[in-house]
Amino acid sequence: MKNIKTYLIAIATAFSFASCGDSLLDIKPKDKFTTDVALSTIDGLEGAILGVYERGRNLIESNDVCVYRSCQTDLVMAGTNLNDQAVFRAILNMDYQFNGSNNGVRDIWNAYYIGINRANLIIEGVDNVKMDQTASNIAKRDQVLGEAYFFRAYYHHCLVTKWENIVLADKIDPAGTIFLSTPDQVYPLIISDLTKAIELLPEAVAINSSGRASKGVARHLLSKAYMDRGEWAKAAEMAEAVVKDPQYELLTDLTQIFSCTNQDNHEIIFAWQFSANDDGHPQRITQQWYPLYDRINGVSRSFQGGGRPWHRISPTPYYWTLFEPTDKRLDAYHKRFWTYDVNDSVNDPLAAGKAIGDTVRPGDFTASVDLGDRLIEPTTNKYFEDGSFGKSVEDAEGFRNIVQYRVAEAYLIAAEANWRAGNTSKGLEFLNAIRRRAGVSDYSTIDQDIILDESARELAHEGGRWELLKRMGVLVERVKAHSPEVGSNMQNYHVRWPIPRNFVDLTRVSQNEGYTE
């Protein structure tokens, strides 16, 4: 018995002084890389660049902000169904909730900076990548680096046009002082990044996807940056380079540009890409535009009608006045008419005197809710999506690509840049190329209103209008003149967006003039 006690004491002593030390506590996650490991290989770089693309696409996945680029212009007004959408409504109407506390404003700002940081990690980490210096590896590395430069410029461009006073994030500097830079300080970075991107990126023709950044999209953005800076000749040169790029052409069949079955056509320079294979990332733009047509008795919800309609945003009456009746774009780019297509005696009875196939006319239906003719308000069809990608007619989400830049815009930039540089006749060539395709007569001269009107007819609702009006200094007057409801809220200071409230709180930078919150 004595022995047992001795043994026990010995064991106890051993246990008491046993120490596992730091090895026990030094635990690393099993399912995650640390960032430095992730960026140490060429495969890692190629994966990391997806995170840079993804931030730009991310905004299109959000119900609140997906169409923000189309808002606050002379071409749009509120739809009929915005009551419970405070964030969206504020961005669209610039009502009293359009301020730094608006979560949509914050999300947009944040997305761009997160994208920029991810690009910076690649730009700064690229020299540490361990790889064999084969031609194929070098090409891969250069492409990723070119993409990183392109997106760093793209995101800065988005920021500087909307906010003007922004943080210049040209390196990773988490501890550094945060201060705002002016456009004069930001544009040089945008231009130099794009110049590097043009060198590093492959030609568009080699890329085989309008979703991948190419020399073409970098040139296109650079032409826009030069326009912003008033460097007309350089802008013209870049825009013409895009127009002449053999990868791009103006499609003669206008209906093919935004077709669901021809998404990778030669009109498109860059599009945000979606896929039903990646169904956690749907686009949410389509339903924002279509009026609540399916509330009319005898009209069912259908792909042809526009799918599930939310009617958050709508073209202004002014917009429709811009078109000549013969303009091919009226039918190609728009959903203008609905037809009776169902007769369900209980749920969806056809009105007396109507037959299936008849076009729904204003005033010939009674709306269950007092929306009147706005139930058949014509709208853009540029975001049309059918069942091609697995979307059902009830789905609020879809998987079509969302066009960001197309070559028609390059034509219009080339037109304006040449005209402003003093070469009106050359400008007219580009302008009239667009006119002829639409089946309308040539212009013989150019002025700012002609550029604005043609741009509206060709590019409306695609997202560039706000920046164009702002660049020309006519944003406020145009909105007030042509979108009265929005215009009545619009103040001169709205040409700059409010810096997110929490960013101001965290950094003590100055809020843009005019915003109190």
Partner 1 sequence: MKNELKFGEFKTSKVTKLSSVFKMTVLCLILSHVFVLNSYSANEQRIIQEQESEMSDALSAQNKTITGKVVEDNGSGLPGVSVVVKGSTVGTITDADGKYSINVPATGKELVFTFIGMTTQTVAIGSQSQINVTLESDVVSLNEVVAIGYGSMERNNVTGAISSVKTEEIMKAAVPNVVEALRGQVSGVKISRGSGQPGSGVGITIRGKRSLGSDDDGINENEPLMVIDGVPFTGGNMSEINPADIQSINILKDAAAASIYGASASNGVILITTKNGSSGKAAISVDASFGLTNLAMKPKLFDGEGYYQLKKNALIGYGKSITGDTVDFVLGDVVENANYKAGKEIDWHDELMRQGTVQNASLSVTGGTDKFHYYMNGDAYLEKGIVYHSDYNRYSFRMNADYTPYSFLTIGARVQLSKSFADETGLTLYGNDADFGDFVGNTPLGITHNEEGVLVPCVKGDQFQYNPLYRYANSQVDRTNTRVYINPWFEVKIVDGLTYHMNAFAEQRSENYSSFYSSIYSNSTLGSEPGKNKMNVKLNETTTYLFDNILNYRKIFNDVHSVDATLVYGIQTYDAYTLNTTGEGSSTDLLGYYDISGVPSSQSTVSLSPDQWAKEYYVGRVGYSFGERYNLTATIRRDGSSKFGPGKRYGYFPSIAGAWNIQNESFMADIPEISMLKLRASYGIMGNDNIPNFKYLATTSNSSYSFNNTTITGKTTDPATAPNPDLKWEVSNQFNTGIDFSLLKNRISGSVDYYITHTTDLLLTEQVPSSTGYTSVMSNIGKTKNWGIDANINFAILTGDFKWDMAVNWAKDHNEIVSLSRYNVDADGNPLDDEANGWFIGQDIDVIYDYKFDGIWQLGEEAQAAAMHPTIKKYGPGDAKIVDVSGDGVIDTKDKTFIGSPTPSWYSGIRNTFEYKGFELTVLLEAVVGVEKINNYYGNLTGRDNQIKVNYWTPTNPSNEFPEPNSSKAYDFANAVNFRDASFVSLRNVSLGYTLPQKLVKKTPFKALSLFVRGNNLMYFTEFKDSYSPEIDPWNFPITKTWTFSAKITF
CA-nearest of 405, 138, 394 to 271 is 405
Size of residue set near partner 1 by CB under 8 A: 95
Interface segment toward partner 1; rule CB under 8 A; list 184-192, 227-235, 272-280, 438-446 = 272-280
What does R_g of the chain's alpha carbons equal in angstroms?
27
Tokens 């709205």 correspond to 494
Contact residue for partner 1 among 135, 252, 370, 444 (CB under 8 A): 370
Contact predicate 104/134, CB 8 Å:
no
Give how far Cα 4 sits from Cα of 8, 12, 394, Å: 6, 12, 77
Contact residue for partner 1 among 174, 246, 357, 363 (CB under 8 A): 174
Q: Of the two residues 110 and 423, which places its CB atom closer to partner 1 in the complex?
A: 110
Contact predicate 241/235, CB 8 Å:
no
Tokens 């993804």 correspond to 54
Contact residue for partner 1 among 49, 201, 243, 459 (CB under 8 A): 49
Interface segment toward partner 1; rule CB under 8 A; list 24-32, 66-74, 217-225, 311-319 = 24-32
Q: Parallel, antiparallel, or unpaired: how do β-strands 76-78 and 379-380 relate?
A: unpaired
Contact residue for partner 1 among 124, 134, 139, 172 (CB under 8 A): 172
Tokens 């826009």 correspond to 224
**From CA 247, how far away is CA 225, in angstroms rounded?**
22
Q: Of the two residues 93 and 379, which places its CB atom closer to partner 1 in the complex?
A: 93
**From CA 444, how far away is CA 499, in angstroms rounded?**
43
Is residue 516 a contact residue for partner 1 (CB under 8 A)? yes
Is residue 10 a contact residue for partner 1 (CB under 8 A)? no
Least CB distance from residue 308 to partner 1, whole Å? 8
Q: Which of residues 152-171 bind partner 1 (CB under 8 A)?
A: 167, 169
Contact predicate 472/478, CB 8 Å:
no
Least CB distance from residue 312 to partner 1, whole Å? 14
Contact predicate 166/496, CB 8 Å:
no
CB atoms within 10 A of CB 332: 17
Residue type present at position 18? A
Q: Of the two residues 43 and 249, which places its CB atom closer to partner 1 in the complex?
A: 43
Q: Of the two residues 325 and 346, which places its CB atom closer to partner 1 in the complex?
A: 346
Q: Which of residues 333-362 bind partner 1 (CB under 8 A)?
A: 346-347
Interface segment toward partner 1; rule CB under 8 A; list 18-26, 242-250, 414-422, 458-466 = 18-26
CA-nearest of 122, 219, 114, 204 to 167 is 114
Is residue 368 a contact residue for partner 1 (CB under 8 A)? yes
Q: State the alpha helices, DSSP H only, in 448-500.
A: 448-459, 465-472, 475-482, 484-489
Binding mask 379-398 for partner 1 (x = CB under 8 A): -----------x-x-xxxx-
Interface segment toward partner 1; rule CB under 8 A; list 33-41, 250-258, 416-424, 474-482 = 33-41
Interface segment toward partner 1; rule CB under 8 A; list 35-43, 148-156, 194-202, 404-412 = 35-43
Q: Of the two residues 280 and 357, which places its CB atom closer to partner 1 in the complex?
A: 280
Contact residue for partner 1 among 139, 355, 369, 481 (CB under 8 A): 369
**From CA 371, how far away is CA 38, in angstroms rounded?**
54
Contact predicate 398/268, CB 8 Å:
no
Binding mask 50-89 for partner 1 (x = CB under 8 A): xxxxx--x-------------------------xx-----
Let me know how long the chain is. Answer: 517
Paired strand residues for 335:
379
**From CA 379, how far away is CA 81, in angstroms rounded?**
14
Paired strand residues for 379:
335
Q: Which of residues 84-143 bind partner 1 (CB under 8 A)?
A: 84, 95-96, 101, 109-110, 113-114, 116-118, 120-121
Give how far Cα 207 sits from Cα of 67, 123, 147, Å: 28, 21, 12
Is residue 149 a contact residue for partner 1 (CB under 8 A)? no
Least CB distance from residue 165 to partner 1, whole Å? 12
Q: Of the two residues 29 and 246, which places its CB atom closer to partner 1 in the complex?
A: 29
Q: State the alpha helices, DSSP H only, in 333-389.
A: none
Contact predicate 386/286, CB 8 Å:
no
407-420 vs 448-459: helix crossing angle, rounded to 10: 180
Q: Which of residues 415-474 bind partner 1 (CB under 8 A)?
A: none
Least CB distance from residue 369 to partner 1, whole Å? 6
Is residue 502 a contact residue for partner 1 (CB under 8 A)? yes
Kindly tell me the burial class for residue 98, based on how many C-beta atoms sit within 10 Å of its own C-beta (0-12, 13-18, 19 or more): buried
Contact residue for partner 1 among 3, 28, 345, 357 (CB under 8 A): 28
Q: Which of residues 276-295 bind partner 1 (CB under 8 A)?
A: 276-281
Least CB distance from residue 150 to partner 1, whole Å? 15
Contact residue for partner 1 among 125, 146, 211, 291 (CB under 8 A): 211
Q: Of the two residues 46 and 142, which places its CB atom closer to partner 1 in the complex?
A: 46
